[in-house]
Chains A and B, each alone.
Chain A
Amino acid sequence: GAGVSQSPRYKVAKRGQDVALRCDPISGHVSLFWYQQALGQGPEFLTYFQNEAQLDKSGLPSDRFFAERPEGSVSTLKIQRTQQEDSAVYLCASSLVSGLNGRAFFGQGTRLTVV
């Protein structure tokens, strides 16, 4: 596809369940970012990959959050033992170049609701 694709678009999880959110970046994009957007708020940074290397994970809120990008393309954000405060839209973005030197293109997001 031409843009960043995220799946699923919507996910409802029972508290305590594990979830996995997928991001397909634009082909060839070096940088991949994950952000969390709570209802009515701006996005907050979670983590950054340059190719397969996770260079910054300072925004991950707890050790229940884990992200990977093993082959430098598709990325998965995993949340273990989900809590109600994890309910948010999870946005993925990719950029052709490293860091913030290029334009970031955002996906449509995955809306996670923990019940």
Chain B
Amino acid sequence: TQLLEQSPQFLSIQEGENLTVYCNSSSVFSSLQWYRQEPGEGPVLLVTVVTGGEVKKLKRLTFQFGDARKDSSLHITAAQPGDTGLYLCAGAKAAGNKLTFGGGTRVLVKP
């Protein structure tokens, strides 16, 4: 059973469209991270959110942490082919040593 559920599993859109990826859990996390992973590479950290209700923006990417710190979303505005990749959310528990990853959302942005 995946502790963090991501949806959708796969998303194919045209360049210029917007998209949202969701990360949901029944557990509370002290922080949540979003990564992007390209084929043959390791995940690369995009952002960390730590406060319930927090919103962070990174250029065209907007990340939100739910008020109860159980869920998060990633919104991409005007997607570009360079946004193509596997997006992973990962939660951390207080005083823990491990990240719990979601199953990932594979995003394909077609030119």
Residues of A within 8 A of B (CB): 4, 31, 33, 35, 40-45, 48, 55-56, 58-59, 91, 93, 99-100, 103-104, 106-109
Contacts and interface: CB of A to CB of B under 8 A. Distances in A.
A39 to B, nearest CB: 11
B59 interface: no
A31 B52 CA distance: 27
A56 B96 CA distance: 10
A58 B97 CA distance: 10
A103 B47 CA distance: 10
Contacts of B98: 33, 45, 48, 56, 58-59, 100
Interface residues of B, number: 24
A108 B41 contact: yes
A1 B43 CA distance: 18
Given A42-B103, A103-B45, A48 B88 contact: no
Contacts of A48: 97-98
Interface string B93-106: 00111111111100
List the 7 shortest-distance A-B pairs measured between CB atoms, nearest first: A106-B42, A42-B101, A45-B98, A48-B97, A56-B97, A100-B92, A42-B104
Contacts of A43: 43, 88, 99, 101
Interface string B17-59: 0000000000000010000000011111100100000000000
A58 B41 CA distance: 25
Contact of B103 (A41, A45, A91, A104): A41
Contacts of A41: 103-104
